[in-house]
Structure 1
Amino acid sequence: MTTTPTTARATSVAARAADLSKVYGEGETRVVALDRVTVDFRQGEFTAIMGPSGSGKSTLMHCVAGLDGFSGGSVRIGGTELGSLSDKQLTRLRRDKIGFIFQAFNLLPTLTALENITLPMDIAGRRPDERWLRLVIDMVGLSDRLGHRPAQLSGGQQQRVAVARALASRPEIVFGDEPTGNLDSRSGAEVLGFLRNSVRELGQTVVMVTHDPAAAAYADRVVFLADGRIVDEMTAPTADGVLDRMKEFDARGRTS
């Protein structure tokens, strides 16, 4: 397999967190979910975020994606500082510049696959770029399922629709929160392959939270969190390499 130059040229930053903190509660109930995290997510790169349960990986993604507020530090999407935006402006930013893929497919049962894919753009009153839309649909292999409703699709096909929906508006960055968590291994591998291809072939930027070393191996880079801090990073990951690194963190946690 040849690697396209997309990732090699990934020098611009699609999203950046700087000294990012997230604190819940006060006094004895105070919990530091993120502890001054600084990380860049580069354009044209597939990044996986991993860590033990409670490490802050989903919190980091939700804060960077504008789905949750933060207690300190800053977050930028492209050149836009999220902390300076009103709720209305944040909603517009998420709609216009960010794609989301969640563990739950979140498809509307009364709409066809194509209608679900184009729904965010329809709500925004924007016409899709037909050439780009066709590229995305072809990449995820849905050309012969566009008229089907979710109940007529398998779980893997439904998540393909969700992937296509996230990519269809050509967002600056796509965030996935355990996007293969509800899929069997074969369907999960297909969806991960589509995400990887969207980076290599379409130049998309993808950030994915996962607990699965095999899923993380599809990424260009893995960022590891523990206790709300970034503790390590791995490029060109393999499933075995990620698993070994996670075992090291578990061992440190038991001895600390």
Structure 2
Amino acid sequence: MRTTTGIAAATADLSKVYGSGDTRVVALDRVSIAFREGEFTAIMGPSGCGKSTLMHCAAGLDSPSSGSVRVGTTELSTLGDRQLTELRRDRIGFIFQAFNLLPTLTALENITLPLTIAGRRPDQQWLDRVISMVGLSQRLGHRPAQLSGGQQQRVAVARALASRPAIIFGDEPTGNLDSRSGAEVLGFLRDSVRELGRTVVMVTHDPVAAGYADRVIFLADGRLVDDMPSPTPGRVLDRMKDFDTRSRTS
């Protein structure tokens, strides 16, 4: 059994409000959640429930209207813009639905780009391990146009891991992939937790994807409504059907 040693990121009474008056929308309503080190967490819920907003606030990509966010022991509200940029660069990895690769760079250059921009040399032993894990050793000289969608997302996963971040956030990372490629990418994310000791937080609408996680948290109307350990696709699907039923009867 895996043991966790601490909290990789956490929110406390986190709220996010857009607009005012008649156009006021409460995207998050006092959400308190902790993402434990060495754990794979999926965030699920109906469309518009606040999944991506929670992830963006927890990752320091968006600022909350009230409440607090911390990564490790660092309270994000205490950081200036430059410090926040450095924290995201050094301690957080990102994987999005769009692969966001630069077409003129090779796979290896895309993987190491964040480190290059930061003026840092990669830890070669770690980089070799990451590249081997995602199965890219024979594709490092290829540019994105020469790679399949699944291979491009493998590059994005390796890029997110290359700087040895404490926590990786994924926003629908398999949304543009077929089921086989999606399963490969999800397997790599799970392996990054089990073999590399990373923490992964993933927004998804797919019960099969959520089944790869150690834990699924559910949002509805901007609020945390359930926390499911050891999920299976079937249990997750049943829980999502509950949301559909409630929305039709409300």
- TM-score if structure 1 supplies the norm length? 0.96
- Partner Cα separation in structure 1 for residue 239 and residue 180 of structure 2: 25
Partner in structure 1 of residue 72 of structure 2 = 78
Q: Is residue 2:137 matched to residue 1:143? A: yes
One of 76, 98, 101 as aligned partner of 1:104 = 98
Partner in structure 2 of residue 114 of structure 1 = 108
Q: Percent of counterpart pairs with the same letter?
A: 79
One of 91, 105, 126 as aligned partner of 2:85 = 91
- Quote the offset at 1:254 in angstroms: 2.0
Residues 129-208 of structure 1 aligned to structure 2 (within 5 Å): 129-208=123-202
One of 217, 238, 242 as aligned partner of 1:244 = 238
Partner in structure 1 of residue 247 of structure 2 = 253
Q: What amino acid does structure 1 have at the position aligned with 2:73? A: G
- Partner Cα separation in structure 1 for residue 246 and residue 3 of structure 2: 36
- Partner Cα separation in structure 2 for residue 182 and residue 12 of structure 1: 33
- Partner Cα separation in structure 1 for residue 5 and residue 33 of structure 2: 14
**RMSD value, Cα:** 0.7
- Partner Cα separation in structure 1 for residue 19 and residue 66 of structure 2: 14
Query: Deviations along 1:72-93, whole A, 9 cap, x unmatched?
Result: 0000001111111111111111
5+ residue gaps in structure 2? none
3-state secondary structure, aligned to 1:99: strand
- Partner Cα separation in structure 1 for residue 105 and residue 21 of structure 2: 48
Structure 1 runs, 4 residues or longer, greater than 3 Å off: none
Partner in structure 2 of residue 53 of structure 1 = 47
5+ residue gaps in structure 1? none
- Partner Cα separation in structure 1 for residue 12 and residue 100 of structure 2: 31
Query: Deviations along 1:230-251, whole A, 9 cap, x unmatched?
Result: 0001111110110000001221
Partner in structure 1 of residue 226 of structure 2 = 232
Query: Deviations along 1:107-151, whole A, 9 cap, x unmatched?
Result: 011111001000000110111111110110000000000011101
Partner in structure 2 of residue 16 of structure 1 = 10
- Quote the offset at 1:29 in angstroms: 0.9
Bigger shift: residues 82-91 or 181-190: 82-91
Bigger shift: residues 30-39 or 8-17: 8-17
| Alignment length (residue pairs) | 250
Query: Deviations along 1:24-81, whole A, 9 cap, x unmatched?
Result: 0111111100000000000000000000000000000000000111100000001111
3-state secondary structure, aligned to 1:100: strand
